[in-house]
Structure 1
Amino acid sequence: MTIEKELLSTSEADKLAAELKVILRNGEKPKNDPDSINKMVAGLGDPRGLIRRTFAEALGVTGSFATPALREALIHNKNVTIRRAAAKALKLVADPSALPDLLKALITDEDPVVQGSSVGAIAIFGEKAIDLLQVVLLDPKSSAMQKGLATWGIAFAGAEAPEAIKNASKSKHEAIRAAAIAALGGQIQSLEDEEAKKILIQAIDDKSSKVRAEATALIGGLESAKWAESKLKAKLNDKSAQVRKNSALSLMKLQSKNSLEEIKLRKMLEKDPQVLKVLELAIKHLKEN
């Protein structure tokens, strides 16, 4: 069966999906011979989401036996629905041998859903994912969306690889440092990681405005981050408009009434209209709450 050219008919898909549901419900594994796997991969092109999900779950349970066919479908199938579903199925299979093709799909596939699903499948691999996704951040050919997806993937992977994230935060490349800083929130919030907190505090004064912006924005999303108030107050006068804006927003989110006078003073000096709007919002909020 040539999966690139053939899709299952509606009746074939219904029949096979019903059989697979019984197999999965009984805690059994589907057949792992090439013909059976190819039929399941072809089923990923079904227009019905629930049917596609059944095939993806069955392929996930089949495990690494399904990896070659899914990799082939992800990279070479002309049917975008199959490519999208193949990336999602590879996440369920969780076979690291698929990482090169998942990275290739992120970089070369023109469909944003394929790109996003590929990142999702990469991100489950922790440190390996962080190493791979840094390549995307540093590639000048990567689009803004690809870099954004890579940043999200690094943040997700960081939950499984906290030490790798800390190492990435010390990278000589600002894009990698910024992505790593954005990933520290979980470690600080859930794990109360003092080293991660120290890295974040240092990042507030990073030489890169991009890193400073990530750091000042992240603090606003943390609970009980009063320890950062003085740093954020200082950054109200940062040379970067984005950092000034993020600092004001974070002080507002932290309910930092102690910063009200500093924010008012910054408003008197501020010339950037977007920052001015944020400063006015912060002043209003802190006065009323």
Structure 2
Amino acid sequence: MNASQCSPISGQPLQLSEEEASQLAEELKHQLRCGEVPDANSSSIERMVAGLGDRRGLMRLTFAESLGVVGKAAVPALCQALEGHDNVTVRRAAAKTLTLIEDPQALPVLLKALLHDPDPVVQGSAVGAMAALGAEAVDALLGVLINPKSSSMQLGLASWGLAFVGARAPEALREAAGSEHAEIRAAAIAALGDQIQAQGDESARDLLIRALSDQHVDVRAEATTLLGKLHDSCWATPHLIPLLNDQAGQVRKNAALSLMKLQASDALPALREHLQCEHEPDVTAVLRVSISQLERI
């Protein structure tokens, strides 16, 4: 291949023709099949990053896998592409490739992409790469939750990232569950499910129970919802029934839904009793549905 074809012009990102991309992809696939690590010099990495913009998905996959094998040496170029490339396909692929490498050095750029990239797929892929870092990404994700400029989508992505981190960062999540910020407490509680259910973490279970009486409604609501996801009716039902009296309608609604999910038919008397005195129409509707479903069991 002519070297002049592979050099960026006037500081613009390198671009490969389809023929150049195909040739490079074949070379890389051969190296990967032979167990060889692709060249990690700056020129080779730049060509592979350029290949992330190819319109053919299988080609992009080959370049991403090759950069993943190169590892940390490719991180600066991938971060540069994620941060400033005009081609959204390149930015998306760069974020996904950083997920394969799991290098904490990429964290600031990943966070910037979550907060400022206009493309929702780039934002989501950036959170995926952050979550792959485990405990090292927790503080950054929590920061998104208390950032008043975060959009509802960014808040949801950050919460998902924390849940994905889950058992990989148990200490960080337990600490977050005691934060002074209600948004952080709620997100941390929502992320405790795997620790409780898969690992039998008793301290996480205790945090969940304490969250049921948190002063902030969002924290109580998240804790109430989580109880319904743990598939332990005998343990959860005695904690859920008192929440049918909670002052917040959202918590009462979540309690009824969780009892329904747990198929807690022994809670029917309490549900019927609370239906008689419920004054919020949306909660009344949920109570009726829960009672109807449980009566069929």
Structure 2 residue 20 is matched with structure 1 residue 12: yes
Any stretches of 5+ residues in structure 2 without a counterpart? 1-6
Q: Is the 8 A contact 2:221 2:254 kept in 1?
A: yes
Residue number among 92, 96, 103 corresponding to 2:104 in the alignment: 96
Q: What is the aligned partner in structure 1 of residue 67 from structure 2?
A: 59
After TM superposition, give the deviation of residue 107 of structure 1 in Å. Answer: 0.8
- CA shift digits 1:244-289 (9 cap, x unpaired): 1110011111111121011112222223232222111110111101
- CA shift digits 1:15-43 (9 cap, x unpaired): 11122112112221111111111111011
Q: Distance in 2 between matches of 1:185 and 1:225?
A: 15
Q: Distance in 2 between matches of 1:159 and 1:55?
A: 31
Structure 2 counterparts to residues 170-185 of structure 1, below 5 A: 170-185=178-193
Q: Distance in 2 between matches of 1:270 and 1:48?
A: 57
Which range is displaced more, 273-282 or 83-92? Answer: 273-282
Q: What is the aligned partner in structure 1 of residue 248 from structure 2?
A: 240
Structure 2 counterparts to residues 18-29 of structure 1, below 5 A: 18-29=26-37
Aligned length: 289
- CA shift digits 1:209-250 (9 cap, x unpaired): 101111010111112242121221111121222111110011
Question: Once the two structures are aligned, what percentage of the paired residues are identical?
Answer: 55
Q: What is the aligned partner in structure 2 of residue 163 from structure 1?
A: 171
Q: Distance in 1 between matches of 2:284 and 2:65?
A: 51
Q: Distance in 2 between matches of 1:273 and 1:52?
A: 52
Q: Is the 8 A contact 1:23 1:30 kept in 2?
A: yes
Q: Distance in 1 between matches of 2:186 and 2:37?
A: 43
Q: Distance in 2 between matches of 1:192 and 1:4?
A: 53
Q: Is the 8 A contact 1:158 1:164 kept in 2?
A: no
Q: Is the 8 A contact 2:14 2:46 kept in 1?
A: no
Q: Distance in 1 between matches of 2:166 and 2:194?
A: 9
Residue 43 of structure 2: SS of its match in structure 1?
helix
* TM-score, structure 1 normalization: 0.97
Amino acid corresponding to residue 206 of structure 2 in structure 1? K
Q: Distance in 2 between matches of 1:50 and 1:237?
A: 55
Q: Is the 8 A contact 2:212 2:224 kept in 1?
A: yes
CA-atom RMSD, angstroms?
Answer: 1.3
Q: What is the aligned partner in structure 1 of residue 266 from structure 2?
A: 258
Q: Distance in 2 between matches of 1:5 and 1:258?
A: 65
Residue 110 of structure 1: SS of its match in structure 2?
coil
Residue number among 197, 200, 203 corresponding to 2:205 in the alignment: 197
Q: Is the 8 A contact 1:162 1:187 kept in 2?
A: yes
Q: Distance in 2 between matches of 1:61 and 1:277?
A: 54
After TM superposition, give the deviation of residue 8 of structure 1 in Å. Answer: 1.6
Residue 168 of structure 2: SS of its match in structure 1?
coil
Q: Distance in 1 between matches of 2:274 and 2:51?
A: 60
Q: Is the 8 A contact 1:60 1:92 kept in 2?
A: yes
Amino acid corresponding to residue 45 of structure 2 in structure 1? I
Amino acid corresponding to residue 133 of structure 2 in structure 1? F
Q: What is the aligned partner in structure 2 of residue 281 from structure 1?
A: 289
* TM-score, structure 2 normalization: 0.94
Any stretches of 5+ residues in structure 1 without a counterpart? none
Q: Distance in 1 between matches of 2:150 and 2:41?
A: 38
Amino acid corresponding to residue 101 of structure 1 in structure 2? V
Residue 191 of structure 1: SS of its match in structure 2?
coil
Q: Distance in 1 between matches of 2:117 and 2:12?
A: 16
